[in-house]
């Protein structure tokens, strides 16, 4: 991460497992200013106790579905790590929420990043979803459910959004 030389970094879902570890690594490597953006449905402040100790990590409680707030928090950001997501079991239980968070929420983050002239966005994916999408959907040979496929589609649309924004902005993977 050191080659990125970012001064002000936004981590969506930064209080979660992966996001908080990214924060720890960034603090250790080049100590930038870090904004954690999380609605705390699953994330924990305790996950950030190490990173918070340096005084350059700020927490903003908010939801990536809130486009206005995402645009506000994006101001002056150089680099985004987009980690906000709901867990796969919740996607199955609440498919509309999955659509709103994984698809609309990701779109909000990417749109706001372009508007704020962010240099790079690193978005989470999961090989599990991609494998699900590529699996044969024959009912007798697979345990893939409709909700799992739906979730995989949301993940796929996240990837499609990222690729579309990359093509339009010149961002690199
Ligand atoms: N943990 C793994 O082993 C693993 C492996 C591969 C991919 N991933 C992917 O990495 C990403 C992060 O995974 P994780 O394990 O850290 O998950 P996590 O649940 O620990 O973290 C996700 C964070 O997003 C926050 N969040 C959820 N909905 C939000 C919303 N609407 N607005 C703002 N914040 C919201 C949660 O509160 C949580 O802090 C996910 O996209 C996941 O699919 C994780």
Per-residue model confidence as pLDDT tens digits over 66-87: 999 999 999 999 999 999 999 8
Question: 1 or 48: whose pLDDT is higher?
Answer: 48
Q: Which of 75-79, 88-92, 133-137, 165-169 ranks highest by mean pLDDT? A: 75-79
pLDDT at 148: 56
Question: pTM for the whole thing?
Answer: 0.84
Residues with CB under 6 A from ligand 1: 12-13, 15-19, 38-43, 63-65, 83-87, 101, 105, 124, 126
pLDDT at 139: 44
Torsion of the alpha carbons at 73, 14, 34 and 163, rounded to the nearest 10: -70
Contact of 17 with 44, CB cutoff 8 Å: no
pLDDT at 84: 97
Average pLDDT, the chain: 83
pLDDT at 151: 63
3-state secondary structure of 123: strand
Structure tokens, 16: 């979660």
Give the CATH number, domain containing residue 10. Answer: 3.40.50.720
pLDDT at 95: 84
Interval between CA 124 and ligand 1 midpoint (Å): 8
Domain count, the chain: 1
Structure tokens, 139: 């009912």
pLDDT at 159: 78
Mutate to test the pocket of ligand 1, among 22, 42, 158 (most ligand atoms within 8 A of CB): 42
- Among protein residues, the one whose CA lies closest to atom 2 of ligand 1: 18
* Whole-number percent of the chain with pLDDT over 70: 79
Mutate to test the pocket of ligand 1, among 12, 14, 15, 17 (most ligand atoms within 8 A of CB): 17
Mutate to test the pocket of ligand 1, among 10, 14, 18, 65 (most ligand atoms within 8 A of CB): 18
Mean pLDDT of 88-108: 89
- Among protein residues, the one whose CA lies closest to atom 23 of ligand 1: 13
pLDDT at 114: 92
Contact of 59 with 33, CB cutoff 8 Å: no
* Whole-number percent of the chain with pLDDT over 90: 55
> Cα–Cα distance between 165 and 111 in angstroms, integer?
8
- Among protein residues, the one whose CA lies closest to atom 28 of ligand 1: 85
> Cα–Cα distance between 14 and 62 in angstroms, integer?
11
* Segments forming the whole domain that contains residue 46: 2-169
pLDDT at 143: 39
**Residue 4: band (very low, low, confident or very high) from pLDDT cuts 50, 70, 90:** low
Interval between CA 125 and ligand 1 midpoint (Å): 10
Instruction: Evaluate if residue 134 carries a pLDDT over 60.
Output: no
């Amino acid at each position: 991460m050191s080659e990125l030389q970012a001064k002000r970094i936004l981590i969506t879902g930064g209080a979660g497992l992966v996001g908080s570890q990214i924060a720890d690594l960034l603090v250790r490597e080049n100590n930038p200013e870090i904004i954690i953006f999380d609605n705390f449905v699953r994330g924990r402040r305790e996950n950030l106790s190490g990173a918070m100790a340096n005084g350059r990590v700020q927490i903003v409680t908010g939801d990536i579905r809130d486009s206005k707030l995402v645009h506000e928090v994006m101001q002056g950001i150089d680099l985004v790590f987009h980690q906000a997501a709901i867990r796969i079991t919740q996607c199955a239980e609440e498919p509309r929420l999955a659509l709103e968070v994984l698809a609309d929420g990701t779109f909000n983050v990417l749109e706001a990043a372009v508007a704020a002239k962010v240099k790079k966005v690193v978005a989470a994916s999961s090989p599990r979803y991609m494998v699900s999408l590529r699996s044969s959907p024959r009912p007798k040979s697979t345990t893939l459910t409709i909700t799992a496929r739906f979730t995989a589609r949301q993940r796929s649309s996240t990837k499609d959004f990222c690729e579309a924004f990359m093509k339009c902005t010149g961002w690199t993977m």
